[in-house]
Structure formats: C-alpha cells, structure tokens
Structure 1
C-alpha cells in the first residue's frame, strides 16, 4: 500500500477524497456534553448571606450545592442525614416565564418564584422576623 497523507483517502478508482469538514472543538464538546447550570458569584453571595443568618439563629446546619444539566440547586438541611428543609433552585429554562429562581419546601411546594433572586430570598425574612 502506498503512503497517504492524513485526511486523504483513495476510493476504489484511485480518486482522492479530502476530509474538509472543520468542527469547532468548543461547540462539539458542548453538543456532546453540555456544561451544567451554575450559580453566579453574586447569586451565591446572596444565598450564603441568608444561610449565615439562619445558621446563626440555629435553624440550619448544613447545605449542598448541585450543578445539574438543567438547573442548579442549593439545598439546606437541619441535619446532614435528612431531607433538605428548603431547596433554592435556578432553572434558566423558566427565566422567560415564571422566573429562573424558586424556593421549594420539603414537601415540594414552591414557596416563592421570581426573576430576581434577592426578592425570592425574602421568603426567609418572615422566618427571621418570627424568631424575634
């Protein structure tokens, strides 16, 4: 067999065929394995501010952050071995409809949903005022 440069093939009649398709590697990787949804720094700062206040009050003790393909979830626990008391979710697919952010209770009820995370997190202000 004769030596052939990479990217070229000879078919049965001996004609050269060149692989001329160029694919952007970043686009290819994102199509094969899309990046997960994450919280931005400002969003995480707002969530951790509320978390710090509630830990100070003795209400919350542990948290978990999950970055999934369709949403990001910040779960809050009373004890680490239990179900989360609350889930703060970011779902970009709902951004144009009800809002990307939601606070979900243990039983699945959506306590508050909206476009602005700080407004959604005000649902915890009532709990803080009730403790005073």
Structure 2
C-alpha cells in the first residue's frame, strides 16, 4: 500500500490559508512598483491555519514595514484583507484586495513626486 501523506511542510488545503494566483498577482504588481521606486527591497510569506501573510521589508534584517493579511474567517465581518503597519495599526481593511492595497499605492505616489 502506498503512503499518501503529504511531504513535510505541505499541509492539506484545509490546514492553512493561502493567497490564490490572482491575489498574489495583485500583490506582486504593487510590490514590483514599490521596488522600482526604491521603497521596498524584500518580502516574505507565511501561510498559517487562520491567516496568510505577505510581509514587506525595506531591508532583509528588519521587521516588516507592512503586512498584507488574508483572514477568511473575517470575510463576513470587517473583510478578509487587511494592511497592517510596522506598529501594528490596521491601516485599511476590507473585502476587496485592490481597494485595501490603495492605502499603499498612495505612498507610491508620494515617493515618486
């Protein structure tokens, strides 16, 4: 009989929250523009049981400047997406990822001016 358990580090789809392809495309589009503007330099992703996190860094060894979080359990309440600042404040929350990311795009416009 063949062992059908996942490899270490690979959970079942219900074990963790992930960003889907379109969500990652939207986030990486913003990330690329911010890197080109010299604002961001590195990123990290975490996929946990209740939340998927995309962290943005100015330098690799720092704490993240921003965290983009997806919490599906909050979908019907405040919205499943949130942008959280370095100090832990929620800068924007909602159910539309592009609308939530606009809070960071405003910072891109200021950086270019």
TM-score range, shorter chain: 0.7 to 0.9
What secondary structure is seen at the aligned counterpart in 2 of 1:96? Answer: coil
How many Å separate the matches in 1 of 2:14 and 2:95?
24
Q: How many aligned positions are there?
A: 103
With the length of structure 2 as denominator, give the TM-score of the two structures. 0.86
User: Structure 1 residue 75 and structure 2 residue 55: aligned?
Assistant: yes
What 5-or-longer segments of structure 1 have no aligned partner? 1-28
What 5-or-longer segments of structure 2 have no aligned partner? 1-10
* Among 5, 30, 34, the residue aligned to 1:50: 30
Residues 31-65 of structure 1: per-residue CA shift (max 9 Å, x gap):
xx942100000000000000000000011000000
Residues 78-102 of structure 1: per-residue CA shift (max 9 Å, x gap):
0111100000000001000000000
* Among 102, 106, 117, the residue aligned to 2:82: 102
RMSD: 1.8
Moved over 4 A (4+): none
How many Å separate the matches in 2 of 1:119 and 1:75?
18
Larger relative contact order (Cα-Cα within 8 Å, sequence gap ≥ 6): 2
User: Structure 1 residue 85 and structure 2 residue 65: aligned?
Assistant: yes
* Among 74, 78, 102, the residue aligned to 1:122: 102
